[in-house]
Amino acid sequence: MSLPCQSDETRSTCPYCGVGCGVLLKPDGQGGLAVRGDPEHPANLGRLCSKGSALGETVGRDGRLLAPQVAGKDTDWDTALDLVAEKFAATVADHGPDSAAFYVSGQLLTEDYYVANKLMKGFIGSANIDTNSRLCMASTVAGHKRAFGTDTVPGTYEDLETADQIVLVGSNLAWCHPVLYQRILAAREKNPALKIIVVDPRRTASCDGADLHLPLKVGTDVALFNGLLTQIAARDAINTDYIEHVNGIEAALKAARADDPSVTGLSQGALDQFYDMWINTPKTVTVFSQGVNQSSSGADKVNAILNCHLATGRIGTKGCGPFSVTGQPNAMGGREVGGLANMLACHLDIDNPDHHAAVSAFWNTDRLSPKLGLKAVDMFEAVGDGRIKALWVIHTNPAVSMPDADKVVAAMKACDFVVVSDITAATDTARLADVLLPAAAWGEKDGTVTNSDRTISRQRPAMSAPTHARADWDILADAGRRMGRLLNWPEAFDFKTPADIFREYADMSRLGTQFGKDFDISALSDLSDADYNSFAPTRWPITEARQGGRFFADGKFFTPSGKANMLPLTYRAPAAKTGKRYPLRLNTGRIRDQWHTMTRTALSPRLSAHLAEPFLEIHPEDAAEAGINHSDLVRVQSPAGTGIFRALITDAVSRGDVFAPMHWTGETAPSARVDALVPPVVDPVSGQPESKAAVVKVTRFAAEWYGFAVSSGTVAPNCDYWARAKTRSGYRLELAGATTPQDWEAEARRMFDLPDASAQVMNDPASGTARLAFYEGSVLKAALFVSKKPVAVMRDYLATLTDTDAPYAIAGVSPADQPDPGPTVCSCFNVGVNTIVDAIETQGLVSVDGVGKALQAGTNCGSCRPEIADLLAKVREAQNETKEAAE
Partner 1 sequence: MPQKLIIIGAGMAPGRLLDHLMADAPEAYDVTLFNAEPRGTYNRLMLSPVLSGEKTYADIVTHDDAWYATHGVTCRFGEKVLAIDPVTKIVTGEKGTVAYDKLVIATGSAPFIIPLPGHDASGVMAYRDLEDTERMISLAQTPNAKAVVIGGGVLGLEAAAGMAARGIQVTVVHNATHVMNRQLDLTAGDLLKSDLEARGIAVLCNANSSQILSDDTGHVRALQMEDGTELPCDLLVMAVGIRPTTALAKEGGLQVNRGVIVDAHMQTSASDVYALGECTEHDGEVFGLVAPLYDQAAVLAKTLTQTPAQFVPKQLSTKLKVTGCDLFSAGDFADADDRELIVFHDPQRGIYKRLVIQDHKIIGAVMYGDTADGAWFYHHMNQGTDISSMRDQLIFGAGFDADLTSLPHSAIGGGPAPEKVAEPLSQMTKLKGAA
Cβ burial, residue 250 (10 Å; 0-12/13-18/19+): exposed
Q: For the window 850-879, what string marks contact with partner 1 as x by the rule CB under 8 A? A: ------x--xxxxx-x--------------
Phi, psi of 28 (to 5 degrees): -90, 5
Determine, following the binding rule CB under 8 A, whether residue 766 of this chain makes contact with partner 1: yes
Determine, following the binding rule CB under 8 A, whether residue 617 of this chain makes contact with partner 1: yes
How far apart are the C-alpha atoms of 13 and 834, rounded to whole Å? 57
Determine, following the binding rule CB under 8 A, whether residue 358 of this chain makes contact with partner 1: no
Q: Is residue 218 helix, strand or coil? A: coil
Task: Indicate the residue among 3 and 361 with the shorter CB distance to partner 1.
Answer: 3
Contact indicator for 524, 499 with CB cutoff of 8 Å: no
Q: Which stretch binds partner 1 (CB under 8 A): 69-77, 244-252, 274-282, 612-620?
A: 612-620
Task: Indicate the residue among 517 and 592 with the shorter CB distance to partner 1.
Answer: 592
Residues with Cβ within 8 Å of 357's Cβ and at least 6 positions away in sequence, in order, are: none
Q: Is residue 624 helix, strand or coil? A: helix
Give the DSSP H or E segment for 148: helix 138-148
Question: For partner 1, which residue of 67, 648, 678, 710 counts as binding (CB under 8 A)?
Answer: 648
Cβ burial, residue 847 (10 Å; 0-12/13-18/19+): exposed
- Per-residue DSSP letters for 806-867? -TTGGG-SPPPS-----SEEETTTTEEHHHHHHHHHHHT--SHHHHHHHH-TTSSS-TTHHH
Sign, CA dihedral 410-99-120-369, equals: negative
Task: Indicate the residue among 25 and 311 with the shorter CB distance to partner 1.
Answer: 25
Q: Which stretch binds partner 1 (CB under 8 A): 372-380, 396-404, 525-533, 623-631?
A: 623-631
| Strand partners of residue 196 | 166
Q: How far is the CB of 809 from partner 1 (least distance, A)?
A: 10
Please give the angle made by the CA atoms of 668, 671 and 675, to the nearest 5 degrees. 90
Residues numbered 163 to 182 that lie near partner 1 (CB under 8 A) are 174, 178-179, 182
Determine, following the binding rule CB under 8 A, whether residue 525 of this chain makes contact with partner 1: no
Residues with Cβ within 8 Å of 248's Cβ and at least 6 positions away in sequence, in order, are: 565, 566, 567, 568
Closest CA to 476 of 66, 121, 190, 829: 121
Determine, following the binding rule CB under 8 A, whether residue 844 of this chain makes contact with partner 1: no
- Per-residue DSSP letters for 550-589? -SSTT---SSTTSSEE---------SS---SSS-EEEEEE
Question: For partner 1, which residue of 18, 20, 37, 106 counts as binding (CB under 8 A)?
Answer: 37
Q: How far is the CB of 798 from partner 1 (least distance, A)?
A: 11
Q: Which stretch binds partner 1 (CB under 8 A): 231-239, 463-471, 492-500, 812-820?
A: 812-820
Q: For the window 652-681, what string marks contact with partner 1 as x by the rule CB under 8 A? A: x-----------------------------
How far apart are the C-alpha atoms of 527 and 833, rounded to whole Å? 79
Determine, following the binding rule CB under 8 A, whether residue 711 of this chain makes contact with partner 1: no
Phi, psi of 470 (to 5 degrees): -130, 155
How far apart are the C-alpha atoms of 349 and 512, rounded to whole Å? 10
Residues numbered 731 to 760 that lie near partner 1 (CB under 8 A) are 732, 734, 758-760
Task: Indicate the residue among 503 and 619 with the shorter CB distance to partner 1.
Answer: 619
37 alpha-carbon distance from chain centroid: 20
Residues near partner 1 (CB under 8 A), total: 88
Determine, following the binding rule CB under 8 A, whether residue 815 of this chain makes contact with partner 1: yes
Q: For the window 564-593, what string marks contact with partner 1 as x by the rule CB under 8 A? A: ---------------------------xxx
- CA trace torsion 287, 293, 297, 302 (10° rounding): 30
Task: Indicate the residue among 778 and 882 with the shorter CB distance to partner 1.
Answer: 778
Per-residue b or e along 279-297, where b marks 16 or more CB atoms closer than 10 Å to that residue's CB: bebbbbbbbbbbbbbbbbb
Q: How far is the CB of 667 from partner 1 (least distance, A)?
A: 16
Q: How far is the CB of 751 from partner 1 (least distance, A)?
A: 17
How far apart are the C-alpha atoms of 115 and 877, rounded to whole Å? 87
Q: For the window 419-448, what string marks contact with partner 1 as x by the rule CB under 8 A? A: ------------------------------
Give the C-alpha distances (Å, rounded to integers) separating 670 from 371, 709, 717: 38, 17, 11
Question: For partner 1, which residue of 49, 81, 715, 825 counts as binding (CB under 8 A)?
Answer: 49
Question: For partner 1, which residue of 10, 44, 330, 448 counts as binding (CB under 8 A)?
Answer: 44
Report, in angstroms and rounded to the nearest whole number, the Rg of the chain calculated over CA atoms. 31
Residues with Cβ within 8 Å of 534's Cβ and at least 6 positions away in sequence, in order, are: none
Q: Is residue 490 helix, strand or coil? A: coil
Question: For partner 1, which residue of 45, 372, 553, 779 counts as binding (CB under 8 A)?
Answer: 45
Q: Is residue 78 helix, strand or coil? A: helix
Write out the E strands in 312-454: 321-324, 390-394, 417-422, 435-438, 447-450
Q: How far is the CB of 264 from partner 1 (least distance, A)?
A: 21
Question: For partner 1, which residue of 1, 193, 545, 885 counts as binding (CB under 8 A)?
Answer: 1
Q: How far is the CB of 706 from partner 1 (least distance, A)?
A: 8
Q: Is residue 16 helix, strand or coil? A: coil
Residues with Cβ within 8 Å of 469's Cβ and at least 6 positions away in sequence, in order, are: 64, 65, 66, 423, 438, 439, 440, 441, 444
Question: For partner 1, which residue of 185, 361, 702, 846 counts as binding (CB under 8 A)?
Answer: 185
Question: For partner 1, which residue of 277, 372, 410, 811 counts as binding (CB under 8 A)?
Answer: 811
Q: Which stretch binds partner 1 (CB under 8 A): 67-75, 307-315, 646-654, 834-842?
A: 646-654
Determine, following the binding rule CB under 8 A, whether residue 834 of this chain makes contact with partner 1: no
Determine, following the binding rule CB under 8 A, whether residue 209 of this chain makes contact with partner 1: yes
Q: Which stretch binds partner 1 (CB under 8 A): 300-308, 313-321, 433-441, 645-653?
A: 645-653
Task: Indicate the residue among 23 and 402 with the shorter CB distance to partner 1.
Answer: 23
Q: How far is the CB of 854 from partner 1 (least distance, A)?
A: 13
Task: Indicate the residue among 127 and 633 with the shorter CB distance to partner 1.
Answer: 633
Contact indicator for 81, 481 with CB cutoff of 8 Å: no
Q: How far is the CB of 755 from partner 1 (least distance, A)?
A: 15
Determine, following the binding rule CB under 8 A, whether residue 348 of this chain makes contact with partner 1: no
Question: For partner 1, which residue of 808, 853, 876, 877 counts as binding (CB under 8 A)?
Answer: 808
Task: Indicate the residue among 410 and 759 with the shorter CB distance to partner 1.
Answer: 759
Question: For partner 1, which residue of 620, 639, 656, 850 counts as binding (CB under 8 A)?
Answer: 620
Q: For the window 128-167, what string marks contact with partner 1 as x by the rule CB under 8 A? A: ----------------------------------------
Q: How far is the CB of 786 from partner 1 (least distance, A)?
A: 10
Residues numbered 50 to 89 that lie near partner 1 (CB under 8 A) are 50, 53
Contact indicator for 724, 733 with CB cutoff of 8 Å: yes
Determine, following the binding rule CB under 8 A, whether residue 270 of this chain makes contact with partner 1: no
Q: Which stretch binds partner 1 (CB under 8 A): 479-487, 511-519, 532-540, 825-833?
A: 825-833
Task: Indicate the residue among 81 and 607 with the shorter CB distance to partner 1.
Answer: 607
Determine, following the binding rule CB under 8 A, whether residue 630 of this chain makes contact with partner 1: yes
Measured in residues, the chain has a length of: 887
Task: Indicate the residue among 45 and 573 with the shorter CB distance to partner 1.
Answer: 45
Q: Which stretch binds partner 1 (CB under 8 A): 139-147, 197-205, 636-644, 689-697?
A: 197-205
Task: Indicate the residue among 339 and 832 with the shorter CB distance to partner 1.
Answer: 832
Contact indicator for 395, 427 with CB cutoff of 8 Å: no
